[in-house]
Amino acid sequence: MDVLKKVPVREQDAKERAANFKEVCLGYNKEEAMCEAERCINCKNAQCVKGCPVSINIPGFVEQVKLGNLEEAYKIISESSALPAICGRVCPQESQCEGKCIRGIKGEAISIGKLERFVADWARENGIKPEGAKEKNGKKVAVIGSGPAGLTCAGDLAKLGYDVTIFEALHEAGGVLVYGIPEFRLPKEDVVKKEIENVKSLGVKIETNVVVGKAVTIDELMEEEGFDAVFIGSGAGLPKFMGIPGEQANGVFSANEYLTRSNLMKAFDENSNTPIMHGKKVAVVGGGNVAMDAARTALRLGAETHIVYRRSEEELPARVEEVHHAKEEGIIFDLLTNPVEILADENGWVCGIKCVRMELGEPDASGRRRPVVVEGSEFVIEVDTVIMSLGTSPNPLISSTTEGLEVNKWKCIVADEEHGKTTKEGVYAGGDAVTGAATVILAMGAGKAGAKGIHEYLSSK
């Protein structure tokens, strides 16, 4: 074994997987996981833990994998994370725990994410669940939204003995984990639903089809329904568009709509009641994880798929692994390219996307080199579908129906990082609703901070 290199992980063949929705990464088996864990040198001052937003005791759980004590490894992870099978699959480990791993200085970092996923999958397959509270404390907390922020906050509060109810607007719990991230990266039945079941097994109730701000307000929850505190984890689901001519044409989608139709409404399934348009040639505008997910979904639905991104490969905000997988599967990257108009035929259907070539100038406020238009470089890519993946912002419904809840100029709820405390007494918030679109683990970290804040608040009352 070369200790400088990761134990390779098995994956579905690129050609095969480009035509199915089954999970791409097949994960480690026990032998491979124990072998990978052997590479960890159990650092005294473990940098990996500093890189983890929820401070999982990484050397502790990796040591138990090394010894083959998988139940103990699961217990250690569960002390800090309610959703390890999910985080092991979708966290940007390369810029968090693995990015800080000492092993990574001379060789390749320990595959912490793949080990976390292995342990969580093993626990699920062996029916092992996290431990709940011994006694209830009689206090009620409402959590709005069942994404990673809400689920984590609810799980942590239930473990402390609170009576927690999650109110979810959609008909299924999970937030972006069910409606955004596709099946081929994050299986819904076997992984997401099972981790949500674990949160429910702690005593958390989930009421779906309840839009807070319409069906009930936060003030009503607190004044009429007896909730002692509220945590808002309502995410950032409002899509942005470019504002260019032709965006109203038939065949233009936001990535959120496209992915929701595919993931939540099972539009990729031929027998679905809500089938999606199968484009022949699709352009996805944007370069983040969401753009990669939309492009790889369109590809699996049979389209020639292009990513249209205005900067170069170096600036692509998506995870390196996702870009690598997308390329392997045959996604075409049109880089340094920016759309200026969407062209439609006489019936109003998309028939092309007019673009300009870009070059990189001086760095802008974000530190990335600013893309500048190359004069006279207009050209047309013929496509029948355009998917806009330019980011999202929080929906203002909750803030506009809750007096005293301050938001910033981007409509993000103002809340302190350490406790999730908002400007309204008894109301806490975290995740994308506060930060704008970010990551699963940051939302989980904010859920934990919110639980801590609510516990301190209700303990002092």
Ligand X SMILES: Cc1cc2nc3c(=O)[nH]c(=O)nc-3n(C[C@H](O)[C@H](O)[C@H](O)COP(=O)(O)OP(=O)(O)OC[C@H]3O[C@@H](n4cnc5c(N)ncnc54)[C@H](O)[C@@H]3O)c2cc1C
* Contact residues: ligand SF4, CB under 6 A: 40-43, 46-48, 58-59, 62, 101-103, 110, 112
CB of 119 to ligand SF4, least distance (A): 14
Nearer to ligand X, 111 or 395 (CB): 395
CB of 376 to ligand SF4, least distance (A): 52
145 contact choice in ligand X, ligand SF4, none (CB below 5 to 8 Å, kind-dependent): ligand X
CB of 259 to ligand SF4, least distance (A): 33
Rounded CA-CA distance 314/36 in Å is: 29
DSSP 251-320: TEEEHHHHHHHHHTS-TTSTT-SSPPP--SEEEEE--SHHHHHHHHHHHHTT-EEEEE-SS-GGG--S-H
CB of 105 to ligand X, least distance (A): 25
Q: What are phi and psi of 135, to 5 degrees?
A: -130, 150
Nearer to ligand X, 283 or 358 (CB): 283
Residues in touch with ligand X (CB under 6 A): 90-92, 144-150, 167-170, 175-176, 180-181, 210-213, 233-235, 237, 259, 289-290, 293, 395, 397-398, 431-433, 437-441, 443
Nearer to ligand X, 33 or 433 (CB): 433
CB of 112 to ligand SF4, least distance (A): 6
101 contact choice in ligand SF4, ligand X, none (CB below 5 to 8 Å, kind-dependent): ligand SF4
Polymer length of the chain: 461
CB of 166 to ligand X, least distance (A): 9
Nearer to ligand SF4, 101 or 405 (CB): 101
CB of 353 to ligand X, least distance (A): 21
CB of 259 to ligand X, least distance (A): 5
The DSSP call for residue 6 is P
Nearer to ligand SF4, 46 or 199 (CB): 46
Give the pair of three-digit tokens for residue 429.
């918030």
Q: Quick one: which H or E segment has residue 78?
A: helix 70-80
Rounded CA-CA distance 62/88 in Å is: 13
| Planar angle of CA 405, 408, 414, nearest 5 degrees | 50
409: which residues sit within 8 A by CB, 6+ positions away? Answer: none
Nearer to ligand SF4, 59 or 430 (CB): 59
Nearer to ligand X, 142 or 336 (CB): 142
The tally of CA atoms less than 13 A away on the side-chain side of residue 69 is 11
* CA dihedral for 68, 70, 75, 76, sign (positive or negative): positive
Strands in 86-162 per DSSP E: 140-144
233 contact choice in ligand X, ligand SF4, none (CB below 5 to 8 Å, kind-dependent): ligand X
431 contact choice in ligand X, ligand SF4, none (CB below 5 to 8 Å, kind-dependent): ligand X
The DSSP call for residue 94 is G
334: nearest Cα among 375, 377, 363? 377
**Hey, is 27 helix, strand or coil?**
strand
170 contact choice in ligand X, ligand SF4, none (CB below 5 to 8 Å, kind-dependent): ligand X
102 contact choice in ligand X, ligand SF4, none (CB below 5 to 8 Å, kind-dependent): ligand SF4
Nearer to ligand SF4, 47 or 312 (CB): 47
The answer to whether 86 and 440 are in contact (CB under 8 A) is yes
Nearer to ligand X, 33 or 444 (CB): 444
Rounded CA-CA distance 170/145 in Å is: 9
CB of 417 to ligand X, least distance (A): 14
Give the pair of three-digit tokens for residue 422.
């908002």
Taking the CB of residue 163, how many other CB atoms lie within 10 A of it?
18
150 contact choice in ligand X, ligand SF4, none (CB below 5 to 8 Å, kind-dependent): ligand X
**Hey, is 18 helix, strand or coil?**
coil
286 contact choice in ligand X, ligand SF4, none (CB below 5 to 8 Å, kind-dependent): none
Give the pair of three-digit tokens for residue 315.
């600036």
